[in-house]
Amino acid sequence: MKRREVLLTTEYWITKIQVMLYDCADKFMSKTGKNRAQLAEHLGVSKEYVSQVLNGDYDHRLSKFVELSLAFGYVPQVRFVPIEQFIQKDTHSFKSDTSTQFTTNIKAAYKKIETAA
């Protein structure tokens, strides 16, 4: 599957958002010294629910996504960009971006999409 095709899938964008939310949760736990059980207590949810969030095994309503991001100390920002404009910009930045974290996140997103297909 070519990158352009991947960028046009719902799964890619859901996975990208899940990875971003995971990063917020991970940073929150590191900053506050909380483990998963303590995070569950902080959120008022079960440990199993926290595991689902941290494993990316969920597809929340938008309101829940906002609630979780705020609980982790982050404000979600959503932008809508025309697809062709994004793909053109992404093509240039994808080729020049050598960030290990970026590459790791994208590879995880691709793997999840391939598994779902």
CATH number of the domain that 77 lies in? 1.10.260.40
- The stretch 13-42 carries a mean pLDDT of 93
Q: Is residue 101 in a domain?
A: yes
Q: Is residue 117 in a domain?
A: no
Q: Is residue 58 in a domain?
A: yes
Measured distance CA(25)–CA(63) in Å, rounded: 17
Q: What is the pLDDT of residue 14?
A: 87
Percent of the chain topping pLDDT 90: 37
Q: What is the mean pLDDT of the chain?
A: 84
Give pLDDT tens digits for 43-70: 999 999 999 989 888 887 888 888 999 9
Percent of the chain topping pLDDT 70: 79
Structural domain boundaries enclosing 90 = 3-112
Tally of domains in the chain:
1
CB 11 within 8 A of CB 108: no
